[in-house]
Amino acid sequence: MLMYPHIDPVALQVGPLAIHWYGLTYLAAFALFMLLGTLRLRHPPYASLAWTRKDVEDILFLGVLGVVLGGRLGYCLFYKPGYYAEHPLEIFAIWQGGMSFHGGLLGVIGAMLWFAHSRGRPWLEVADFVAPCVPTGLAAGRIGNFINGELWGRLASPDLPWGMVFPQSGSMLARHPSQIYQFLLEGLLLFALLWLYARRPRKRGEVAGAFLAGYGVLRFVAEYFREPDSFLGLLGLGLSMGQWLCVPMVLAGSALWLYAQRQAR
């Protein structure tokens, strides 16, 4: 068994100013998006559609707003609707924690709709552009989760070589380092597959559909190793909230991919 290394969440302290590792992982995510978005401008069909670096910057700005607003509202609605209905002002207390990927995804979709409408571009063209640039940001976020010692995994066999003890979990038993699993699956693996898939000409909507279905499947698998939220536990059919939220993602992504195929024919 390995012991969680107790990483100080504060990367740098200058007087009263504290720079947290988690904040730095967000900055890394934004920088990676800019880098990949700039490279994406060379991929078909964007090289011939007059897309520019300014478009990438604008999408990033709107996407950050979508992530923050959607992620927070999604957490309040999906995970603790009763609590926040009784304490509505705490919805704005983002510093207390509580963000939802699926809510952030809806926020980003709203941001892309706004961008597409304001630029007179097809929405699926924008979605296909953004999709391959997202997984590296998700990977950075999972590193932040690991540094914070949060979202640890379920109990693992003591014989598992990489089983890790997270004292903050309230037990000294070996657990799966699920943050690392998600970093590898939803982050690196999804990025590699999606980036290679998107480099060749694809029908409009194919890349976005592949992202939705791919993330949904990989997150669904990773959730089997992640400890469910203590205030929710496992829900129907023994699935976590994260898994249930992935089901419509997989269905929507598959439907979008098939729609793109049918439109092409």
Q: Is the pLDDT of residue 18 over 70?
A: yes
Give the whole-number percent of the chain exceeding pLDDT 90: 64
Q: Residue 226 phi/psi, 5° resolution?
A: -100, 135
**What pLDDT digit, counting tens, does each position of 122-181 carry?**
999 999 999 999 999 999 999 999 998 888 999 999 899 999 999 988 889 999 999 999
Tokens representing residue 96 in the block: 């207390």
Please give the average per-residue pLDDT across 6-32, as a whole number: 87
Q: What is the pTM of this model?
A: 0.90
pLDDT at 59: 95
pLDDT for res 100: 86
Which backbone phi and psi does 164 adopt, to 5 degrees? -130, 140
Max CA separation in the chain (angstroms): 63
Q: List pLDDT tens digits, range 43-61.
A: 888 988 889 999 999 999 9
Residue 198 has pLDDT above 80, yes or no: yes
State the Cα–Cα distance between residues 61 and 53, nearest whole angstrom. Answer: 13
Q: Which of 222, 138, 152, 223 is nearest to 188 (CA)?
A: 138
**Would you tell me how many other CB atoms lie within 10 Å of the CB of residue 262?**
9
Q: How far apart are CA 92 and CA 107, in angstroms?
A: 16
Q: Please write the tens of the pLDDT for every residue from 230-263.
A: 888 899 999 999 999 999 999 999 999 999 988 8
Is residue 245 within 8 Å of residue 102, measured between CB atoms? yes
Per DSSP, the residues of 31-60 read HHHHHHHHHHTTSTTGGGTT--HHHHHHHH
At 265 the pLDDT is 59
Report whether pLDDT(115) > 70: yes
Burial class (CB in 10 A: 0-12, 13-18, 19+), 54: exposed
| Cα 262 from Cα 88, distance rounded (Å) | 45
Report DSSP state, residue 228: P
Nearest partner of 153 among 169, 130, 172, 132, judged by Cα:
169
